A and B are shown apart, each in its own frame.
Chain A
């Protein structure tokens, strides 16, 4: 009877992979909870509302409590097949995160404009757009973005070390605008 009432109370629609996320989140929350004593300090002659550990304790306790309820509701809800496929989808995104980080590392070396053009063209090819028109569009897009943000809006992005090897006539221009 109790199990039935519980199931009724917590049942909800859940997508494939929901339980994996609920479990990982709860584990993370419990881990943080176990670290409260280590990662926050209790200061002397300080009232409870000004203790540095107050808000981390409140928020992590909330994460554990609601995370547990979310996990429970996930366990008690009807399962839709496709968990493995869904988790694989999440993991496939890491490939693009890796490309993004390589792009981040190359900017101070090659410069913003060259690395953006390379990144845009590479991703366009990786996504299956092999036509000259698409590659041309990617180059145009990368060029416009670089000129707009670094050249016109002067957004804070360092100049590439490669620019130091350019001829004097264009080096200063490249260091400032590209």
Chain B
């Protein structure tokens, strides 16, 4: 109870509440703009948040993270263009509903399902907290090393049809984390005698280049396009009532979202795919899926929005980010010398609780905002794409230059911008690079400290959690090989693997 009171007192500061409000409303607008996702906004704002208190910076970023998918549903439903990549599945059922004249019903359902998913995941987080506080201290160096390795493995294998590309890019990310002066023996690694490389490649420079500048370049070079006009009439409140009739799907989808969010490297894509498949299999009207099924819409939106809350679990409990956005948040923790991990639950539980409450509040803010301002948002999103590109490039400057006023950083970010543009054009994944960078440095440090007490290889996995993680790694590799063999055997007519659906996050 004392912890809860302390958490409320952390949140009850005007700057925290304003950060939360700006983050949540800004996140909805950013999410609604096709071509700008939460990663772009977070990458730009990241250096600005370093000057804030940790709770202020984190609530601002959390606000954007948690609310962007709400906004992304609007153009997905009304103009068949997902605002963020993870809203792609929402277009399947949302847009056919709009074509039938049920746009307001679809939006209302999407908001309600998103709200349900968001709150559900935070409640799970609160319930799981005591368990986490119990388990987290058992994570030593070996366990964290294995969990980080598991994260890299999962992010690679999650990119079906692009496994080789994801693996080589994850390795590239690990390589980037090793460049510069190595902190133990103080030897230079891959600096090529260049002074600017001695301090290493900054994660924020890479993130800004790959997410923000690449997106700006893509919009600036490509043909101009203005999202179509749309207007919605009718009550947006009806979906809250309708959702009660679809509560089974909403609950199961949110649970899937929570589980997938907790596993590093998996995230929104897998969760919405699994929950959509579940909803279609168990529905009484499976033929309506893809043609305006409210159940399909609820499944994808509830699963999406359950992920951000759950993704905070590995980040807070173990200091392991599961995807690019939590990797960016990790740098906010580091800058303020708050090291997420087992100790956080023991020494700063009120801080963790404050983050949970902020997540609940942001869902409430966003729902209220959306219920009254959907038509206003539809006007805002009609910015021509090349003009939007100009805006992103101008804002990217603040992000990179304010880090250390370095022209070299800006040039490096520009280089990563072109690299990100090529990856986006080729539909190759960006997230493995970021996770490789973050998890790579964690693995290096943890392996070094873990091996100091290991005499035989078996010692590495002689503790229960380490053994479980090791078995999970072997199991996932075996399962992947089995699936590949089965797929190869079943391929009656040779078809290329993968398709043209974009799989970019951000």
Contact = CB atoms under 8 A, between A and B. Distances in A.
Given A13-B498, A116-B394, A89 B425 contact: yes
Contacts of A50: 184-185, 448, 451
Contacts of A156: 51, 402, 405
Chain B residues touching A, majority SS = helix
Contact of A39 (B190, B220, B384): B190
Given A15-B425, A39-B191, A138-B390, A52 B440 contact: no
B390 A56 contact: no
B386 A59 contact: no
Nearest to A87: B422
Chain A residues touching B, majority SS = helix
Interface string B283-324: 000000000000000000000000000000000000000000
Contacts of B161: 12-13
A2 interface: no
Interface stretch (B68-76, B165-173, B352-360, B468-476): B165-173
A49 B402 CA distance: 36
B414 A123 contact: no
A40 to B, nearest CB: 5
B481 to A, nearest CB: 12
Given A13-B497, A18-B426, A129 B185 contact: no
Contacts of B172: 59, 63
Contact of A127 (B162, B218, B390): B390
Nearest to A149: B398
A55 B174 contact: yes
Interface in B388-423: 389-391, 393-398, 401-402, 405, 407, 410-411, 414-415, 417-418, 421-422
B394 A155 contact: no
B46 to A, nearest CB: 11
B221 A62 contact: no
A136 interface: no
A145 B407 contact: no
B417 A93 contact: yes
B496 A62 contact: no
Given A13-B496, A17-B426, A93-B421, A69 B164 contact: yes
A123 B398 contact: no
Contacts of B189: 39-40, 52-53, 56
B47 interface: yes
Contacts of B372: none
Contact of A70 (B164, B184, B216): B164
A90 B499 contact: no
A153 B398 CA distance: 11
Contacts of B426: 15, 17-18, 21
A164 interface: no
Contact of B168 (A11, A49, A54, A70): A70
Interface string B148-161: 00000000000001
Contacts of B217: 93, 96-97
B220 A123 contact: yes
Interface string A125-137: 0011100001001
Contacts of B386: 127-129
Given A59-B171, A101-B410, A129-B384, A93 B391 contact: no
B178 A55 contact: yes
Nearest to A90: B422
A59 B393 contact: no
A100 interface: yes
A92 B390 contact: no
Contacts of A9: 488
Contact of B190 (A40, A89, A123): A40
Nearest to B408: A104
Contacts of A62: 167-168, 170-171, 174
Residue of B217, B398, B496 contacting most chain A CB atoms (<10 Å)? B398
B197 to A, nearest CB: 10
A104 B397 CA distance: 7
Contact of B414 (A52, A101, A107): A101
B488 A8 contact: yes
A60 B175 contact: yes
Given A13-B497, A62-B171, A89-B221, 18 more contacts: A11-B494, A13-B161, A15-B426, A39-B190, A49-B451, A50-B185, A52-B182, A52-B187, A55-B444, A93-B220, A96-B217, A104-B401, A104-B411, A116-B394, A127-B389, A138-B387, A156-B402, A158-B405
17 contacts: A13-B161, A39-B190, A40-B189, A40-B190, A50-B185, A55-B177, A59-B178, A59-B436, A61-B171, A89-B221, A90-B422, A93-B217, A100-B213, A116-B397, A127-B220, A145-B398, A153-B48
Interface of A: 8-9, 11-15, 17-18, 21, 25, 29, 32, 35, 39-41, 43, 46-47, 49-50, 52-56, 58-63, 65-67, 69-70, 73, 77-78, 86, 89-90, 92-94, 96-97, 100-101, 103-105, 107-108, 116, 119-120, 123-124, 127-129, 134, 137-138, 141-142, 145, 149, 153-158
